[in-house]
Amino acid sequence: MKALTRIAIAISVIVGLMPVGGAANAAFPGSNGLIAFQSNRDGPVEIYAITPGGTADRITFSNGSSDPAYSPDGSKIAFVGGTNYQIVVMNADGSGVTQVTSTSPAKQDPTWSADGTRIAFAANSFNVDGQTDLEIWVINADGSGGATQLTNNTFPDTHPAWSPDGNKIAFVATRPGDTDRNIYMMNADGSGQTNITPNVLTDCSPPTPETCYQGHDDDPAWSPDGSRIAYVHSQEPNASGLPAVWTMYPTGANKGNLSNNPAVSFDNPAWSPQGDMLAAVGTATPTTNRDIWVMNSDGSGQTAIDTNPAFDINPDWQPVPTVPSPAPTITAFKPTSGPPGTRVVLRGSGFTGATEVRFNGVSAPFVVRSDSKIETLVPRRATTGPISVTTPEGTGMSTTDFTVT
């Protein structure tokens, strides 16, 4: 589990209120890439990456690395490692390792800002005020400028998850009056901290999320469009319920059990960049082995993608930036001249999805035969000039004129 030795600091008096570990995620839009996770399958806890259905590849060899979090463009991974469990950044293939923080130990849960310039994380404030409880901090991704403390609470604040628009940070906290861990929301500067999963005990016969909501809430993870937060909820007091992946709006409304599987407990959810799936850590009863699972965004299709006797936890899904299709290109057309009504064949590329063909600015009827071929007719009132093709990606213009006779 994530905490291991670095959480063995002086917080035992509140261990009952501490989360047992989890990813800190904001899924950023893109194509679905690799899933990074931490595992002790080769001895020390290290970071691995896998494609669903593929074989996991080890990408760190540092005798202790955890909590992987992909950058918004998928090119880098922030993680916990180095001397005294610091925040470290590396390239997605494991190269170019750079330590970002260098203050007190016991750091965890890195999460990137939407523009990739900052990293929020949880760490104690021992160097500041002698306190050993975990708080939320933020630092420039290159380590410059030092870290800024965003929360200051008697009990631990952990698992920050930066919203895809960069304006909010969800996190896990237990504040005075709370009987369970809850998901809190705050502005990116630390202001406006609000509990969005408070207990509701209006009517528990039968229980519904609207009238009877209780139990620990952990591991918030934003969907790539920012419309939902996946998180872990037990729906029983004192953590006695089966942990499951739930979802809700960022306001805390519309809570619902997504995984809803009495045979598998789930934690550490992470959205896919396309928003169509989630990765999570699953433990199938009666075993205690923890594996990486995936499921569809509606909770269906739950599948373990890499079963291993070791503990595999804290998945994060790599966003692969979508490369925009190029604007259309006209390389040739035949015939090169003719009167209105003449059938003309255009050759080139990027014609799929064409919305308009023009002869020297005059709109013409057309049919897209393939990505490289369009058939069109010279329109009435056309004059000599270039031919253009417009698609959602842009407009391409012929380099020579069509002569209207």
Q: How would residue 124 be classed by pLDDT, with cut points 50, 70 and 90? A: confident
pTM: 0.78
Name the fold adopted by 4-320.
Neuraminidase (2.120.10)
A 10 A CB-CB count for 145 gives: 9
Average pLDDT over residues 165-169: 96
Angle at 20 between CA 183 and CA 229, to 5 degrees: 30
What's the pLDDT at 14? 32
pLDDT tens profile 78-89: 999 977 889 999
Angle at 398 between CA 394 and CA 404, to 5 degrees: 125
pLDDT tens profile 64-115: 999 999 999 999 999 999 778 899 999 999 999 999 998 776 789 999 999 9
Q: How would residue 129 be classed by pLDDT, with cut points 50, 70 and 90? A: low
What are the sequence ranges of the domains in the chain? Answer: 4-320, 329-404
From CA 199, how far away is CA 307, in angstroms rounded?
A: 35
User: From the CA atom positions of the chain, what is the Rg in Å?
Assistant: 27
The residue that leads in pLDDT, 178 or 398, is: 398
Q: How would residue 13 be classed by pLDDT, with cut points 50, 70 and 90? A: very low
128: exposed, middle or buried (Cβ count in 10 Å: 0-12, 13-18, 19+)? middle
The residue that leads in pLDDT, 376 or 203, is: 376
The residue that leads in pLDDT, 300 or 1, is: 300
pLDDT tens profile 348-374: 999 999 999 999 999 999 999 999 999
Percent of the chain residues topping a pLDDT of 70 = 90
- Yes or no: is domain 329-404 CATH 2.60.40.10? yes
Give the CA count within 13 Å in the CB-facing half-sphere of 182: 21
What is the per-residue DSSP string for 47-111? EEEE-TTS--EE---SS--EEEEE-TTSSEEEEEETTTTEEEEEETTS-S-EE---SSS--EEEE
What's the pLDDT at 371? 95
What's the pLDDT at 321? 81
Q: How would residue 1 be classed by pLDDT, with cut points 50, 70 and 90? A: very low
Q: How would residue 21 be classed by pLDDT, with cut points 50, 70 and 90? A: very low
The residue that leads in pLDDT, 48 or 129, is: 48
**pLDDT at 219 > cutoff 70:** yes
